[in-house]
Amino acid sequence: MKILTVIGARPQFIKASVISRALSSMHSNVQEVLVHTGQHYDANMSDVFFTELGIPCPTHNLGIGGGTHGENTGRMLEKLEALMLLERPDRVLVYGDTDSTLAGSLAASKLHIPVAHVEAGLRSFNRKMPEEINRVLTDHLSSLLFAPTDRACSNLIKEGVAKEAIHRTGDVMYDVALLFKEHAKKPDWFDQAELRKDAFALCTIHRAENTDSPQNLKEILKGLDSENVKFVLPLHPRTRLKLQKIGAPLPSNVHVTEPVGYLEMMWLEANSKFIVTDSGGVQKEAYFHRKFCITLREETEWMELVEHQVNTLVGADSKRISDAIDGDTSFQSDAELYGDGLSAVRISKILTGDFL
């Protein structure tokens, strides 16, 4: 069996690492053709994950990045269709909610190649998010839908997706966190920056709704400005660009770094006091590391975290951000919301079985 996997962005490399590993170690009759669209191309947004997480070198790299959503999706669609005609895979595997996900699922479904979607059924119910459009469309083009949670399954059922196509597998990001926990790495710069374990908060900002709005970016920076908390902010390239454009100074309690690799990120998450983010993945990782999460959005795809009171939604509102930072950031929950760490094994078995 030949599986063609389409990845292109940081969170997809991380998710694909455990499934590629399961496919190659458990199924000798399976050939995985890895296609990197090039959506994320900086070494610290791409190469580092391949090296650290032992992901095989992509068979094809399309080198498509840096354009608008329409430009990227269109160019990827064209190249992926040609590749799929050449490779003739039995299934196409896509992850999450990026333009690479949508281009992969569109190209495959038009060629009548079954699409398998990892992280199916997530919804923010906010169609202004490009990610929401990508995930809704991809789910409805897929024959195999791997949903991480019960809520994700019921979202799909409500939208009329056939029950037989939906598999509740748990969350592969939990598998990755467990697998690499022992390898978490303290960043070289940490001590020199006069930071101390458990006495700093970790922050990431990259969602378009925040980075594309100078008003939101300024509000977030104002909210982070605090005498009581030091922040570590590994800066996404898009956010860096936008900050430079608006010329907004960063508060002196914020230590800015380049994006870090997964192992350093794990260390920072595990040793932080709490986490402030607009990332989907980082909200869950906060949970894996038992850290309270302050989410810089008005809604989340991971509502169970809010219901368990380990995540609070504060939007891009400086007052709500600083109230949350100065409020109770202790973590209290012992629920296991994201599976048992065997999601990738489960997915690879279904993917390679005769389920379609």
Residues with catalytic roles: 206
Site string for ligand UDP, 190-219 (x = CB under 6 A): --------------x-x-------------
Smallest gap, in angstroms, from Cβ of residue 234 to ligand UDP?
3
Return the number of the residue (87 or 209) whose C-beta is nearest ligand UDP.
Answer: 209
Determine which residue in the list 35, 80, 102, 265 makes contact with ligand UDP, applying CB under 6 A.
265
Write a three-state SS string for the chain: CEEEEEECCHHHHHHHHHHHHHHHHHCCCCEEEEEECCCCCCHHHCHHHHHHCCCCCCCEECCCCCCCHHHHHHHHHHHHHHHHHHHCCCEEEEECCCHHHHHHHHHHHHCCCCEEEECCCCCCCCCCCHHHHHHHHHHHHCCEEEECCHHHHHHHHHCCCCHHHEEECCCHHHHHHHHHHHHCCCCCHHHHCCCCCCCEEEEECCCHHHHCCHHHHHHHHHHHCCCCCEEEEECCHHHHHHHHHHCCCCCCCEEEECCCCHHHHHHHHHCCCCEEECCHHHHHHHHHCCCCEEECCCCCCCHHHHHCCCEEECCCCHHHHHHHHHCCCCCCCCCCCCCCCCHHHHHHHHHHCCCC
Residue 34 neighbours by CB under 8 Å, 6+ apart: 5, 7, 16, 20, 55, 56, 57, 58, 59, 60
Smallest gap, in angstroms, from Cβ of residue 262 to ligand UDP?
4
Q: Per rule CB under 6 A, is residue 286 in the interface with ligand UDP? A: no
Return the number of the residue (89 or 338) whose C-beta is nearest ligand UDP.
Answer: 338
Piece in contact with ligand UDP (CB under 6 A), picked from 9-17, 22-30, 143-151, 219-227: 9-17
Q: Per rule CB under 6 A, is residue 262 in the interface with ligand UDP? A: yes
Smallest gap, in angstroms, from Cβ of residue 245 to ligand UDP?
20
Q: Per rule CB under 6 A, is residue 234 in the interface with ligand UDP? A: yes
Q: Per rule CB under 6 A, is residue 10 in the interface with ligand UDP? A: yes
Smallest gap, in angstroms, from Cβ of residue 129 to ligand UDP?
11
Q: Per rule CB under 6 A, is residue 280 in the interface with ligand UDP? A: yes
Smallest gap, in angstroms, from Cβ of residue 356 to ligand UDP?
27
Smallest gap, in angstroms, from Cβ of residue 273 to ligand UDP?
17
Piece in contact with ligand UDP (CB under 6 A), picked from 8-16, 116-124, 138-146, 313-321: 8-16
Q: Per rule CB under 6 A, is residue 148 in the interface with ligand UDP? A: no
Return the number of the residue (53 or 80) whose C-beta is nearest ligand UDP.
Answer: 53
Q: Per rule CB under 6 A, is residue 39 in the interface with ligand UDP? A: no
Residues of this chain that interact with ligand UDP (CB under 6 A) are 10-11, 14, 204, 206, 234, 259-262, 265, 279-282, 285
